[in-house]
Amino acid sequence: MKRLTLGIALSLALVACTDQGQAPADGAKGKQPTGDVAAGKALAERECKGCHGLDGKGAAPAIPHLAAQRDRYLVAALLAYRDGKRTHAAVRDLAKNMTEADARNVAVYYASLPPVQSVADKGAKRISPYDHGKALSGACAKCHGADGNSKTPGTPTLAGQQPQYLVIAIQEYLKQERKAAPMHALLPGLTRLDMESLALYFASQPPAERSAPPFGDPKAGEPLTAVCGGCHGANGVSTDSATPSLASQDPRYLVDAVKAYRTTRKRENMRLYVTGLSEKDIESIAAFYSVQKSHAPEKGETLVKDLSDKCDRCHGNGVETAALTVPKIKGQDRDYLIMALRAYRDDRRESSLMHKMSLPYSDSIIESLASAYADQPAK
């Protein structure tokens, strides 16, 4: 699968989850490993206690809790370290020196313990990327309009724009690949999290409909857009997170943007398509796109909740089949969850299933999901 370097293709994430997210039918309960709890405890005392505790609680952030975890999953994880499918030097060395009986014993020991009840760190501020973006967007409203619906000719609407494109556009200003409008002096202070959050917020706002502009002829513009639809979507409603929607965009801005590809905006693939157009053609294309209806490509306000509902199909309540052992993640250490999800996304941990599931997530979404699970009581 094609790697997304800017991880905010959230719609893709939802599709991936829908395709892959069917919880396996419960019923065919997997064979439980049998093991010797006392022998497992002795091994834990010798080899594991320093990091995982005798009570199965990770001794420091980013060390996973093992208490009450499924024994079959623990065995599978230890074998994955031994075989190099999971990488962590210290754990790998330990796993290599273990027999399969050792692994089973220590797994049934930790699985038999009561779950760790995390002392939810009360001071910790949980960020919702959507709310964070909304708070930051106040600084943009003066020009881009309330909720990103611009009423100023020449200033683009950001509402309903594709999120990955918004991040790209901000970066183009920062790298001075696009001539910065004077206000964008405030952009350099934005962190990655800020940009992704702003993008998610604006992508979740419904774009307002527009009436025909005083220039151009939408009817004459329509046939000229035949070559544009392959990338920008039917009637300018893009379905690709990195390609901008043109529908409902400010028409003056569209004219300026098309012309900019002949001069200051250096995108060869766009320049090719717009070099042959006359001034009148450009105005008609802009008029056509500006009156097309568009819609918000994201639902940022409920995104984390919607995603975790999908995760819960497998991680919710004890799905375990012969074919699949799904680890418990509720109440797991937050930093460990973040690390694990990034490892799947970035292909450092082998699991084609979880990789597909986490591939398109931005760090801000991963952190929100990890917080949501870490804060739930372990069972």
Site for ligand HEC in 189-228 (CB under 6 A): 198, 225, 227-228
Judged by beta carbon, residue 116 or residue 329, the one nearer ligand HEC is: 329
Judged by beta carbon, residue 122 or residue 356, the one nearer ligand HEC is: 356
Residue count of the chain: 379
Contacts (CB under 6 A) with ligand HEC, residues 342-371: 349, 351, 353-354, 357, 369
Contacts (CB under 6 A) with ligand HEC, residues 131-190: 139-140, 142-144, 154-156, 158, 166, 168-170, 178, 181, 183-184, 186
* Piece of the chain touching ligand HEC by CB under 6 A; list 28-36, 127-135, 204-212, 332-340: 332-340
Coil vs helix vs strand at 224: helix
Judged by beta carbon, residue 122 or residue 306, the one nearer ligand HEC is: 306
* Piece of the chain touching ligand HEC by CB under 6 A; list 30-38, 119-127, 203-211, 303-311: 303-311
Determine contact, residues 335/328, Cβ cutoff 8 Å: no
Contacts (CB under 6 A) with ligand HEC, residues 32-61: 43, 47-48, 50-52
Least distance to ligand HEC from the beta carbon of 214, Å?
A: 19
Both structure tokens of 277: 């157009």
Non-local CB neighbours of 275 within 8 Å, separated by 6+ positions: 262
Q: Is 244 in the site for ligand HEC (CB under 6 A)?
A: yes
Q: Is 247 in the site for ligand HEC (CB under 6 A)?
A: no
Contacts (CB under 6 A) with ligand HEC, residues 57-116: 63-64, 66, 74, 76-78, 86, 88, 90-91, 94, 106
Q: Say how far apart CA 254 and CA 349 lie, in whole Å.
A: 44
Among residues 312, 329, 309, 306, which one has the least CA distance to residue 375? Answer: 329
* Piece of the chain touching ligand HEC by CB under 6 A; list 2-10, 125-133, 210-218, 326-334: 326-334
Non-local CB neighbours of 237 within 8 Å, separated by 6+ positions: 245, 247, 292, 293, 294, 295
Both structure tokens of 154: 């020449």
Judged by beta carbon, residue 12 or residue 74, the one nearer ligand HEC is: 74
Q: Say how far apart CA 47 and CA 340 lie, in whole Å.
A: 23
Q: Which residue has the tokens 């964008």?
A: 184
Which helix (H) or strand (E) element contains residue 319?
none
Contacts (CB under 6 A) with ligand HEC, residues 12-31: 20-21
Among residues 220, 225, 224, which one has the least CA distance to residue 235? Answer: 225
Instruction: Report in angstroms the alpha-carbon separations of 143 from 123, 140, 182.
Output: 36, 6, 11
Least distance to ligand HEC from the beta carbon of 249, Å?
A: 6
